Amino acid sequence: MGISGNRLLTERAGNPYPGVAGLDRVDREVFGRSGVETVIPLEGINDVSEDATAEQLVRGYERLVRRAHAHGVRVLGGTLTS
């Protein structure tokens, strides 16, 4: 499943890409689906464009990884693209 234009850490309001933060929807959209074995999170560049720090992103990804592992899901890291 892929979703474009959102953020990992915070909600993105307004146009053109409103959306719930990745950390707030990952349980429903990833861990709530049967058969998920691996997740490849590629969110964060929109957080950076809104002044998120590297430390904030690292903490956010650490939260996501801990939650994935608690569900028995493997996490593969990817490069943030612009």
Q: Is the peptide bond preceding residue 41 cis, with omega within 30 degrees of 0?
A: no
Q: Which domain holds residue 82?
A: 1-82
Total-model pTM: 0.85
| CA distance linking residue 11 with residue 6, whole number of Å | 8
| H helices present in the chain, as ranges | 22-26, 45-49, 54-70
CB 46 within 8 A of CB 4: no
Per the structure, the count of domains in the chain is 1
The pLDDT tens digits of the residues spanning 9-65 come to: 998 877 666 688 889 988 988 999 999 999 998 888 889 988 899 999 999 999 999
Q: Is the pLDDT of residue 8 over 80?
A: yes
